[in-house]
Every structure is written in structure tokens, then in C-alpha cells.
Structure 1
């Protein structure tokens, strides 16, 4: 099982750990317009799923803005950011920060994504910082569970994995 800390204190991740080669579990989250979104909504595309605890924190904001900047450079790749923030807060944040090249989704209602991808922090009911790349056939081709939630992921490895996925 993946070991993760939050501000150097161990936390418990609930759900199933995802590994490269797994079929990507389907999930249900909310769009900013309060519509259900599932993995099936992105069929036929490569998905880079960026998971953050909250957009209102420094590292999460930087991570989301970084992938927003990279979105135009990736062909047939759907960039998604998933957090536990309410859809209303996500909409406000995206508007204030000019983030409009990626889809921001909320797992606040059921934590369905968090449980199915093994990133729900039991102690905080937040999602643990992580990156998943899922190919157009819904196979997982890249996984990064960031060991310390307050640290950045490896952007270059994630982007390279998205470029290589088909």
C-alpha cells in the first residue's frame, strides 16, 4: 500500500491502490454545472487526471495552472483536475485564475473517485495529491501518488506519459 504523509504526519488512504496496467475504474464526480461526469464521458481520449486536495492552496493552484498551460500542447489528451472543493468554489477559482483549458471536477458529494483510485484521505476527507494517465482504451499507463501531499508531482513525467499514451 502507498504510504503518504500530510505535513510530515502519516495519513490513511481509503480505497483501492491503482497500478500501471489496471483497467481504469469508472467513477462519478460533479462538473461545475452540477452534472454527473464519469470516465465514460471521455471515451476514446487519453486522460491526464490531476488530483489535488483543494484549489485554494498554493501547491494545488500551481499544479492546476501548470496543467492548464500545457493543455494546448497535447493532442487528443483530456486534462482533468479533481478535488473535493465544491463546484461553486471551483468555478469562482477558475474564473479568478483564468483557468479554462482543462476540466475541473468535484468529488465532494460521494468521494467516489477518491475511493476507487485510493486517494481519499480518511483523516481529512480530502484527496491525496496524485496523477493518473489513462489511455484511450481506459488502461492506466502512469500513476504517481505524491508521498508528501504538500509537495509537487513530477510534471514532466506525467506530461511525457500523456504524450506517449494512445
Structure 2
């Protein structure tokens, strides 16, 4: 995304178009994990989840959570670095409506796509530096989330 922003800054691309293409690419990439979860995730975890300490009751709670709060869960987790990639799998396992999943995924990834592209636009040829800091920030944020959960 920062490189796309850089290309927009030098006039080769449009910043809004970069954001839209990045958001759609994220959405289409999310479909793979969504369908893995939808087509095989739950039966697989029902059978083997006990070996990784996932009980059927916990999986039922996840399904219930997605039935009542799936949209907001997808939206919010798409905004969070580190965990935004993984939400597609449980959404698919809970058989969340694909249209709703798509809408809330797009709404959640667009701010990130725009921010990263805009940073590339602003910093121009220094976009590689931004990418390096972004990855450092992502891991720190992920570690903080893990510490909060534990």
C-alpha cells in the first residue's frame, strides 16, 4: 500500500483507486479463509479441537457470538493490526452471511488501506521506511493484545 501511495504521489496512480484496489484485494484474500472455515473448519475442530484445548462448548459460544455480534466483530477486528487477518476463519466457521461479511470487511480494511497508501503518498520515495515501521508496530500491538488476553 505505501508503494501504491508513492506511485500516486508521482502521478502514476490515483490515491483513491489505490485504496479501493487494496481493499478489494484484502476482501478477496479473506474469502479463502472464510470458505475454509465454512466448508471444513467446524467439523474438523469438532473432531480434533480437543487436542488443542478447544471444546465443543467453546466452539458453540463462538457460533453464538457470531450470530449476534458477527458484523461488529468483523469490522472491529479488521481495524486491529495483528489479528485482522485471522477473523475470516471463525466468521466462515460460524457461517456468517457472506454479504454482511464482505461489507464489514471492506469497511474495516479501507481505513488501513487508505492510511498506508496516504503515508506512501506523503513520504514519497521513503515509503520503504514506513513499511519497516508498520511491521514493527504491528508486532508490538499484537503482543499487547496477547498480554491483555492472558
TM-score by shorter chain over 0.5:
no
Q: TM-score, normalised by structure 2?
A: 0.28
Instruction: Specify which structure has the bigger relative contact order, considering alpha-carbon pairs within 8 angstroms and separated by 6 or more residues.
Output: 2
**Of Structure 1 and Structure 2, which has the larger fraction of its residues in helix?**
2
Larger Rg: 2
**Of Structure 1 and Structure 2, which has the larger fraction of its residues in strand?**
1
Q: TM-score, normalised by structure 1?
A: 0.26
